[in-house]
Amino acid sequence: MNRRIFCKLAAGSALAAALMPQRLFGAVRGGRSCTVSVVRCECFGDLQSKFASDPDGGACPMLRPGMSWDLSGTYLSMPEGMCSKAWEMIRAHISEEKATCSGGNESFVCCPDGIRPVIFKITYNKY
Protein backbone atom coordinates (compact mmCIF):
# COMPACT_ATOMS: atom_id res chain seq x y z
CA MET A 1 0.00 0.00 0.00
CA ASN A 2 1.45 3.33 -0.93
CA ARG A 3 1.59 6.33 1.35
CA ARG A 4 -1.17 8.26 -0.44
CA ILE A 5 -3.74 5.48 -0.03
CA PHE A 6 -2.68 4.95 3.58
CA CYS A 7 -3.19 8.64 4.41
CA LYS A 8 -6.66 8.64 2.82
CA LEU A 9 -7.68 5.54 4.76
CA ALA A 10 -6.28 6.92 8.01
CA ALA A 11 -8.12 10.24 7.59
CA GLY A 12 -11.39 8.45 6.81
CA SER A 13 -10.99 6.16 9.82
CA ALA A 14 -10.27 9.08 12.14
CA LEU A 15 -13.37 10.90 10.91
CA ALA A 16 -15.53 7.80 11.36
CA ALA A 17 -14.18 7.27 14.88
CA ALA A 18 -14.90 10.89 15.79
CA LEU A 19 -18.51 10.63 14.61
CA MET A 20 -19.25 7.16 15.95
CA PRO A 21 -20.04 7.97 19.62
CA GLN A 22 -22.58 10.56 18.57
CA ARG A 23 -24.37 8.04 16.37
CA LEU A 24 -24.20 5.21 18.91
CA PHE A 25 -25.24 7.01 22.06
CA GLY A 26 -27.43 9.82 20.74
CA ALA A 27 -25.77 13.10 21.49
CA VAL A 28 -27.73 16.31 21.56
CA ARG A 29 -25.73 18.44 19.16
CA GLY A 30 -23.62 21.01 20.97
CA GLY A 31 -24.73 19.75 24.38
CA ARG A 32 -28.16 21.37 23.99
CA SER A 33 -31.09 20.06 25.93
CA CYS A 34 -34.44 18.87 24.68
CA THR A 35 -37.73 17.61 26.00
CA VAL A 36 -39.35 14.45 24.67
CA SER A 37 -43.11 14.19 25.27
CA VAL A 38 -45.68 11.53 24.44
CA VAL A 39 -48.35 13.22 22.35
CA ARG A 40 -50.59 10.32 21.39
CA CYS A 41 -50.86 6.55 21.79
CA GLU A 42 -52.77 4.88 18.99
CA CYS A 43 -54.13 1.37 18.57
CA PHE A 44 -55.38 -0.03 15.30
CA GLY A 45 -57.85 -2.61 16.57
CA ASP A 46 -58.50 -4.20 13.18
CA LEU A 47 -54.80 -4.93 12.70
CA GLN A 48 -54.36 -5.96 16.32
CA SER A 49 -57.17 -8.51 16.14
CA LYS A 50 -55.68 -10.05 12.99
CA PHE A 51 -51.94 -9.95 13.59
CA ALA A 52 -51.01 -9.29 17.24
CA SER A 53 -50.22 -12.04 19.73
CA ASP A 54 -52.68 -10.37 22.15
CA PRO A 55 -55.70 -9.34 20.04
CA ASP A 56 -57.29 -7.41 22.92
CA GLY A 57 -54.11 -5.77 24.23
CA GLY A 58 -55.02 -2.17 23.45
CA ALA A 59 -52.55 0.70 23.12
CA CYS A 60 -48.90 0.59 24.19
CA PRO A 61 -48.67 -0.65 27.79
CA MET A 62 -45.44 1.26 28.55
CA LEU A 63 -46.23 4.82 27.50
CA ARG A 64 -49.11 7.23 28.12
CA PRO A 65 -49.92 10.68 26.71
CA GLY A 66 -48.43 13.41 28.88
CA MET A 67 -45.29 11.49 29.86
CA SER A 68 -42.14 13.53 29.23
CA TRP A 69 -38.39 13.41 29.72
CA ASP A 70 -35.92 16.30 29.89
CA LEU A 71 -32.71 15.28 28.16
CA SER A 72 -29.43 17.14 28.20
CA GLY A 73 -25.74 16.54 27.95
CA THR A 74 -23.35 15.42 25.32
CA TYR A 75 -24.18 11.70 25.38
CA LEU A 76 -27.60 10.37 26.22
CA SER A 77 -28.68 6.99 27.47
CA MET A 78 -32.23 5.70 27.26
CA PRO A 79 -34.43 7.39 29.89
CA GLU A 80 -36.12 5.26 32.50
CA GLY A 81 -39.58 4.14 31.41
CA MET A 82 -38.85 4.55 27.70
CA CYS A 83 -39.42 1.75 25.19
CA SER A 84 -36.15 0.65 23.56
CA LYS A 85 -37.64 0.53 20.05
CA ALA A 86 -39.07 4.04 20.37
CA TRP A 87 -35.77 5.28 21.83
CA GLU A 88 -33.92 4.16 18.69
CA MET A 89 -36.08 6.47 16.57
CA ILE A 90 -35.93 9.35 19.05
CA ARG A 91 -32.16 9.05 19.46
CA ALA A 92 -31.65 9.29 15.70
CA HIS A 93 -33.64 12.53 15.58
CA ILE A 94 -31.90 14.00 18.62
CA SER A 95 -28.40 13.29 17.31
CA GLU A 96 -29.25 14.90 13.97
CA GLU A 97 -31.33 17.66 15.59
CA LYS A 98 -33.96 17.36 12.89
CA ALA A 99 -36.64 20.02 12.97
CA THR A 100 -40.00 20.18 11.26
CA CYS A 101 -40.49 21.45 7.74
CA SER A 102 -41.47 24.82 9.17
CA GLY A 103 -37.95 25.22 10.57
CA GLY A 104 -39.15 25.44 14.17
CA ASN A 105 -37.51 23.96 17.23
CA GLU A 106 -39.83 20.93 17.40
CA SER A 107 -40.00 17.63 15.60
CA PHE A 108 -42.37 14.69 15.76
CA VAL A 109 -41.28 11.07 15.82
CA CYS A 110 -43.31 7.88 15.80
CA CYS A 111 -42.23 4.55 17.23
CA PRO A 112 -41.94 1.71 14.70
CA ASP A 113 -44.84 -0.37 16.09
CA GLY A 114 -47.30 -0.38 13.21
CA ILE A 115 -50.18 -1.77 15.27
CA ARG A 116 -49.78 0.36 18.44
CA PRO A 117 -47.77 3.46 17.41
CA VAL A 118 -46.82 6.14 19.91
CA ILE A 119 -46.21 9.69 18.66
CA PHE A 120 -43.54 11.80 20.39
CA LYS A 121 -42.78 15.51 20.24
CA ILE A 122 -39.15 16.57 20.60
CA THR A 123 -38.69 20.20 21.65
CA TYR A 124 -35.15 21.55 21.36
CA ASN A 125 -34.51 24.10 24.09
CA LYS A 126 -32.72 27.36 23.39
CA TYR A 127 -29.03 27.63 24.25
Residue 102: in which H helix or E strand, if any? Answer: none
Mean pLDDT, rounded, of the chain = 77
pLDDT one-digit tens code per residue, 46-91 = 999 898 888 888 899 999 999 999 988 766 788 899 999 999 988 8
- Under 8 Å between Cβ of 80 and 101: no
Mean pLDDT across the stretch 87-116? 80
- Under 8 Å between Cβ of 60 and 85: no
Reduced to 3 states (helix: H, G, I; strand: E, B; else coil), residue 118 is strand
- CA pair distance 71, 114, nearest whole angstrom: 26
In 3D space, the residue among 113, 124, 112 whose CA is nearest the CA of residue 57 turns out to be 113
Give pLDDT, residue 4. Answer: 63
Query: In Å, how far are 78, 91, 115, 116, 126 from 82, measured between CA atoms?
Result: 7, 12, 18, 15, 24
